Structure 1
Amino acid sequence: MRTYLLDKYLKKYMRMSERELSHQFRSNLWFTPVLYVFFSLLLLCTAFFGDFNYDLGDRFRSYFAVDYDLTRTLVSTLTAGILSLTIFTFNLVLVVFTTFSGQFSPRMLKNFIASKATQRVLGIFTGSFVYVLLSFLFLNKRITEYYFAVPLVATFLAMFSMGAFIFFINHAVAWLQVNEMTDDMKKEALGIVQSTMKNELDQYKVEDFNDTDAHIRQGKGTPIQAGRPGYIQLVDFITMIQEAQKDDIVIKLEYTIGCYVFETTPLLTYWNKHGNNLDEDKYLEFFSIRKKQTEVQDIEFSINKLVEVAIRALGNYDPKTATTAIYQVGEVLVSISQITDFSHYLVDDKNNLRIILQEIDFNHYLYHGLGYIRHYAKDNVIVSTDILKVLDLMAKSLNPRDYEAVWDFAIHTAQGFENLFLFEQDSQQFYSALRNLATTTDNLINYDKFLKK
């Protein structure tokens, strides 16, 4: 039974790609502490080797050496102290985060856990505890009466743990500030945009390609079912293009990253002009389908974290937090507009079409980023005015091709207030923001038509 569970656990990680493994290591609490425990074991072996083999206690007896009884008392006290410090620290943090998760987003806890500062502090606590615990276990009066390296290192680790405790409290307090929290989520989303949309796919996206097999794709392709239910977490586009080039086929992805599929859902369709046998299971291996969504390639899921913060803030009557999150979403949308050309064709190195993606334009990301917030802020003219201001700020940096999508979104937002009573100042601010956006996107004529209605 134990061997079966171990094999199952190892196979789970062996099937993961390099990016998935990296994400797993960064988002789990156990990896970094294990490294620190390993270093603490090396430190422990070095300290005992020095005391047992070189009699460091006898050499420094007049100055720094500590006898066996005092060393044992010191190490036993530090063992209980460091363990209590670790438990107290993270129990306090979990209590605080339970409150914040209910107020903002339950997914913010994962961001905090994945931060390097959090994992390193836990690693320091765990490594220090393992050192003093094993030191207490291996102390031996019959081998040497006086110790030098063991109590000295234990004292140093205790002081280091106390410093880490102070640093961690300061880190937690700083990270829990709304600006820091949303900024961390924004950086995560920008990283996904840069790695997935630009670095990975841009070199294969084209508008013009050798489409000599268009007549083949007019016929019915061969679908491949997903084979297992779950969310599409990651797709290995590069290897899929290479294999499609070898097999000389064209593939159409029926669903995009972040979608939920059933076991019998047609995941992709391919056209094989040669009609030879194709290893369909090979192409399923390029998809990572799991029980939950992750931020490895799913930009919408990462944006949704900021959206949740804004929506929860509106429900808690905290418009300032909502506005902060809206501006962060706007920055991510600007990055998407600047980086990608939204082409859904991927070609090989010979400019032959190999993969057809789902047709997704800027309007899709705009709606998923600000559309949900607009819905929950439909009776809040102040927050809606802030949305128009963010759209105007975005438009100054967007690709001009996306002006129409931004203007249409703003008009639909304004139409939601046609039948609502607005104070004069609210009306002035709202329509002033809309006019500024019309000026930026060159839609003053449409703005005048809208006012006449």
Structure 2
Amino acid sequence: MIKKWYLRLHESVWFIPGSYSFFALILSIIALSVDTIYANNIHKWLPSYLLTDVELAQTILSALAPSLLTMTTITFSMIMVVLTTYTSQFSPRTLQNFITERRTLRVLGIFIGGFIYTILALLFMRKNEEEQVVFSAVLGVAISILCLGYFVYFIHHVATSLRVSKLIENLSTDILETVHKLHKGNKDKNNVDYTPPSAQMLDVLTNKPIEVPPLNNVGYIQLIDLEGLRNEAQQCNAVIKVNYPIGAYVGPATSLLLIWPQSKKIENTHRFLDYITVGESRTTFQDMEYGIQKLTEIALRAVSPGINDPNTAITCIKSYGNILH
């Protein structure tokens, strides 16, 4: 179950920007509390150059909010340019590598979080009759400087990502990480004590099994938690067979699992589906073959008459050698 949630968070586009947005919301609440509720106790410990009057703070935040929103829009446009290049020059399957990359999502999250902070600070800032100084504007300026630095970094990241050699390197790294995880899992399985099946269990395999379809899920198998299925089979005293491997396409009428109960009838067979994740697209989390397919498509498109780039194909072949070494 932990692997399933990790896969969802790893493949989701909203999690990292949402986390930064939530942090910006908390930061705006803290800044407004410093300027209102705890102003008398905290402001006297802050240097005078970190405090501004309310009118100047409103002017600064009013200028920062549209600027950060413009930077977010430009960043989104740059992402679309990269995705168009990946689709036309490399392979449509490589889009996911750039969209779900942590650096890309982190830049978007910082811009969105900065905009949320400035607009909330501007919304709840009030001017009293008494002369009042606030800290929110200086914090907003610091956030905008941070966003500007990340914007320059993102431009460099986009320029680097458009190089086909960098894309091939990232794909090879993903494949090698998948190979290491699978190899480590096989090592852990070899350390588990193996109990030979009893004669009664072998007789059970001659009976007709219970077929378990993937309910309403239609798509590709992204994750199979074999350890969880093994524990469920021991608890239910049954034999469970997964009919399809990682990366296979399944539909509602597909017999995803076959279950042979030994002693008692299993009432809820759909709970075994919690250990299998079916999604709309393939991932390289456990699917090494999908990563190799991406490299193959890049190499084939490179030697096509329209592109005619044999050096890219040679680089892909060298990556095959590193993976199969």
TM-score range, shorter chain: 0.7 to 0.9
- Report how far residue 166 of structure 1 moved: 0.4
Q: 1:224 aligns with which of 211, 225, 229?
A: 211
- Report how far residue 265 of structure 1 moved: 2.5
Q: Which structure 2 residue ranges, 5 or more long, are not aligned?
A: none
- Determine if contact 2:13/2:100 at 8 Å carries over to the other structure: yes
Equivalence for 2:136: 150
Measured in 1, the distance between the counterparts of 2:104 and 2:24 equals 18
Q: 1:111 aligns with which of 97, 106, 112?
A: 97
- Report how far residue 104 of structure 1 moved: 0.4
- Report how far residue 78 of structure 1 moved: 0.6
- Determine if contact 1:47/1:150 at 8 Å carries over to the other structure: yes
Equivalence for 1:79: 65
User: Relative to structure 1, is the Cα distance of residues 217 and 198 closer, same or farther in structure 2, using a 3 angstrom cutoff?
Assistant: farther
Deviations 1:331-358 (A, max 9, x none): 2233xxxxxxxxxxxxxxxxxxxxxxxx
- The secondary structure found in structure 2 opposite 1:264 is coil
Measured in 2, the distance between the counterparts of 1:63 and 1:288 equals 55
Q: Which structure 1 residue ranges, 5 or more long, are not aligned?
A: 1-16, 335-453
**Equivalent AA in structure 2 for residue 18 of structure 1:** I
Q: Which has the larger radius of gyration?
A: 1
- The secondary structure found in structure 1 opposite 2:211 is strand
Deviations 1:138-160 (A, max 9, x none): 12111664434111111111111
Measured in 2, the distance between the counterparts of 1:252 and 1:57 equals 66
- Count of matched residue pairs: 315
User: Relative to structure 1, is the Cα distance of residues 143 and 325 closer, same or farther in structure 2, using a 3 angstrom cutoff?
Assistant: farther
- Determine if contact 1:57/1:66 at 8 Å carries over to the other structure: no
**Equivalent AA in structure 1 for residue 7 of structure 2:** H
Measured in 2, the distance between the counterparts of 1:144 and 1:131 equals 25
TM-score norm. by structure 1 comes to: 0.63
- Report how far residue 80 of structure 1 moved: 0.7
User: Relative to structure 1, is the Cα distance of residues 198 and 64 closer, same or farther in structure 2, using a 3 angstrom cutoff?
Assistant: closer
Equivalence for 1:281: 270
- Determine if contact 1:239/1:286 at 8 Å carries over to the other structure: yes
- The secondary structure found in structure 1 opposite 2:303 is helix
Q: Percentage identity across aligned positions?
A: 32
Equivalence for 1:133: 119
Aligned ranges 1:20-419 → 2 under 5 Å: 20-52=4-36, 53-55=38-40, 63-142=49-128, 145-195=131-181, 197-204=182-189, 210-213=196-199, 216=203, 219=206, 221-228=208-215, 229-274=218-263, 276-279=264-267, 280-315=269-304, 316-334=307-325
- Determine if contact 1:234/1:288 at 8 Å carries over to the other structure: yes
- In the TM superposition, structure 1's runs of 4+ consecutive aligned residues that sit over 6 Å from their partners are 56-62
TM-score norm. by structure 2 comes to: 0.85
Q: Which has the higher contact order (CA 8 A, sep 6+)?
A: 2
Measured in 2, the distance between the counterparts of 1:144 and 1:256 equals 71
**Equivalent AA in structure 2 for residue 243 of structure 1:** E
- Determine if contact 2:85/2:162 at 8 Å carries over to the other structure: no
- The secondary structure found in structure 1 opposite 2:278 is strand
